[in-house]
Structure 1
Amino acid sequence: MTAPVRVLVCDDQMLVRTGLVTIIDAQPDLEVAGECGDGATAVALAERLRPDVVLMDVRMPVLDGIEATRRLAGAAVADPVKVLVVTTFNLDEHVYEALRAGASGFLLKDAPPDRLLQGIRTVATGSALLDPEVTRALVGRFAARIRPADRAPGSPLTPRELEVLRLIADGRSNAEIAAALHLSPETVKTFVSRILTKLGLRDRVQAVVYAFRNGLVD
Structure 2
Amino acid sequence: LPVFLPLIVILSVIVLMLVFRSVLVPVKAVVGFLLTIAAAFGFVVWIFQDGNLNGVLGVPATAPVTSFLPIIMIAILFGLAMDYEVFLVSRMRESYLRTKEAVPSVVEGFSASSRVVTAAAIIMFSVFASFVSGDDLIIKSFGAVLAFGVLVDAFLVRMTLVPAVLAMLGDRAWHFPRWLDRHVPDLDVEGEQLIEELERKGDDRPDVAALPVEPAPAAAD
Structure with greater strand share of residues: 1
Structure with greater helix share of residues: 2
The TM-score, its normalising length taken from structure 1, stands at 0.24
Higher relative contact order (CA 8 A, sep 6+): 2
